[in-house]
A = this chain, B = another copy of it.
Amino acid sequence: MTNSTRVTFLGPSASFSHQAALNSFGKSVNLFPSVSFAEAFSAVQNDSADYAVIPFENSTNGSVVQTLDLLADRQGLYKDVTVCGEYFLTVHHCLIGGKPTAKEKYGSITKLYTHPQAWGQCDSFLSKHFRGVERQDVSSTSKATEIVSKDTSGQTAAIASRLAAEHYNAVVLEENIEDSADNTTRFLILRNIQSARTASASVNLAGDVASAKTGSKTRKTLISFMIEHSSPGSLADALSVFKTHGLNLTSINSRPSMLRPWQYIFFIECEHVPNSSIHDTLEELKSICKSYRELGTWIDGLPFPNCV
């Protein structure tokens, strides 16, 4: 990969997607935020980015429907967008201030800022040190950090990542204040399947990241499909194809098809090793589905095996 590799992530700057992009690609690439999920997909489709890093699933909150809906691509806007990798980021929160404040001085902090989801993720810490303190919701943890970074009175603090603190030159007062040690977000790495620039690099990227962390060469493939809703057992038939070929499913999701109410587009992800029967499996699946699209194959980034 050259230094001019362009990687977009779901913004704002210093978001968790930014962290995932940094961890996946390092600091030498050209990293820039997209203001929305759709903008990140467009950037890859229109070749204004080589890669996009977007959240796909959180271990506590479940699937990210915005990503599923863009992968469903009901209007055919993102025909060339394909998944080429994944990155698992453990979500750590910090208490961040505009100036250093010792623990025994937390009493001087009278207002806290963060994204609504983060309050619940740091409940024990907040109950212990900040009971009854005013809470202000903001649109992102990054924004919360920006706000408190400008206040050196010692009366405000944000809950956000270390990256956000570094980005805004704010002070980390305390690290790992989250309740759950294993709150993890899985990010997908997208590329354009027509791009010669990323065709070889992406495999190496995914391989390097995955094998360095896991030693695994297991691959994952993501497929979207629709089935004939008037035919009973169609979904069971589709899933049976994977079982017959001995392939594990690692996730299943459904979203409205938007073609007719109460009909769905399904997303299935399976794992396989090199030289497995994945090709035959997908051909068989294709033959029994009303619509079918392969959304990408990449090297497993998960440090432990799992299947559904």
Mark A residues whose CB is within 8 Å of B.
58-62, 65, 182, 184, 227, 229-237, 239-240, 242-243, 246-256, 258, 261-264, 302, 305-308
Docked Cα-Cα span, A109 to B247, in Å, equals 59
In the complex, chain B residues whose CB is within 8 Å of the CB of A251: 254, 262, 264
- Asked whether A249 lies within 8 Å of B236 as measured between CB atoms, the reply is yes
In the complex, chain B residues whose CB is within 8 Å of the CB of A231: 307
Docked Cα-Cα span, A233 to B281, in Å, equals 14
Q: Copy number in this complex? A: 2
- Give 27 pairs: A residue, B residue, CB < 8 Å, sorted on A: A59-B262, A62-B65, A62-B254, A62-B255, A182-B261, A227-B308, A229-B306, A229-B308, A230-B307, A231-B307, A232-B243, A232-B247, A232-B307, A233-B242, A233-B249, A234-B308, A235-B249, A236-B242, A236-B243, A239-B239, A240-B240, A251-B254, A251-B262, A251-B264, A252-B252, A262-B302, A263-B306
Shortest beta-carbon distance, A307 to chain B, in Å? 5
Docked Cα-Cα span, A61 to B65, in Å, equals 9
In the complex, chain B residues whose CB is within 8 Å of the CB of A255: 62
In the complex, chain B residues whose CB is within 8 Å of the CB of A60: 256, 258
Docked Cα-Cα span, A256 to B64, in Å, equals 12
In the complex, chain B residues whose CB is within 8 Å of the CB of A261: 59, 182, 184
- Asked whether A229 lies within 8 Å of B61 as measured between CB atoms, the reply is no
Docked Cα-Cα span, A227 to B234, in Å, equals 21
- Asked whether B254 lies within 8 Å of A253 as measured between CB atoms, the reply is yes
In the complex, chain B residues whose CB is within 8 Å of the CB of A62: 65, 254-256
In the complex, chain B residues whose CB is within 8 Å of the CB of A58: 256
The 7 closest A-B pairs by CB, nearest first: A59-B261, A233-B243, A236-B239, A236-B243, A232-B248, A235-B308, A262-B306
**Closest residue to A254 on the B side, CB-wise?**
B252
In the complex, chain B residues whose CB is within 8 Å of the CB of A237: 243
**Closest residue to A263 on the B side, CB-wise?**
B306
